[in-house]
Amino acid sequence: MGTTPPELVRRDLLATHAPHPLPDALRQITASGDGPVAELLEELCELLQRYWELAVRPDWPRMRLVLEADITHRARQLATGGAHLLFSDLHRNVRWRDGVLRVDQMIARHEVDGSGRGLRLVPSLFSHKPAPPVSAAEAPMLAYPSRGAATLWEPRPEPDDSALTALLGAPRTTVLRLLAEPLPTVELARRLGVTPSAVSQHLKVLHATGLVARARDGRRVLYRRTALGDQLAGAT
121 in the same domain as 75: yes
Q: Is the pLDDT of residue 170 over 60?
A: yes
Q: What are phi and psi of 100, to 5 degrees?
A: -120, 130
Residues 43 and 88 in one domain: no
Least trusted range by pLDDT, from 25-39, 72-86, 134-148, 186-200: 134-148
Q: How far apart are CA 226 and CA 57, in angstroms?
A: 16
Q: Which is more confident, 166 or 200? A: 200
Question: Is there a single domain that holds both residue 146 and residue 79?
Answer: yes
Do residues 211 and 228 make contact, with C-beta atoms less than 8 angstroms apart?
yes
- pLDDT tens, residue by residue, 39-64: 999 999 999 999 999 999 988 888 99
Give the pLDDT confidence score for residue 84 in this predicted structure.
92
Domain, as residue range, for 18: 6-58
Maximum separation of any 2 CA atoms in the chain, in Å: 73
- pTM for the full predicted model: 0.62
* Confidence category of residue 236, pLDDT binned at 50, 70, 90: very low
CATH of the domain at 183: 1.10.10.10
Q: What is the mean pLDDT of residues 138-165?
A: 81
The answer to whether residues 52 and 65 belong to one domain is: no
Return the pLDDT at 125: 93
Of 58, 82, 102, at which residue does a domain stop?
A: 58
User: Do 199 and 216 share a domain, yes or no?
Assistant: yes
Question: Do 209 and 138 reside in the same domain of the chain?
Answer: no
**pLDDT tens-digit series, residues 180-231:** 999 999 999 999 999 999 999 999 999 999 999 999 888 889 999 998 888 8
- Domain termination residue (choose one: 117, 133, 152): 152
Cβ–Cβ < 8 Å for 229, 211: yes
Question: Is 1 among the domain residues?
Answer: no
Same-domain check for residues 63 and 147: yes
**Do residues 131 and 211 share a domain?**
no
Q: Which residues of 173-203 are buried (b: 16+ CB within 10 A; e: fewer)?
A: bbbbebbeebbbbebbbeeeeeeeeebeebb
Residues 50 and 68 grouped into a single domain: no
Number of domains in the chain: 3
Say yes or no: 130 and 49 in one domain: no
Element of type H or E holding 223: strand 220-225
Q: Tell me, yes or no, whether 200 and 180 share the same domain.
A: yes
Same domain, 167 and 126: no
CA terminus-to-terminus distance, the chain: 32
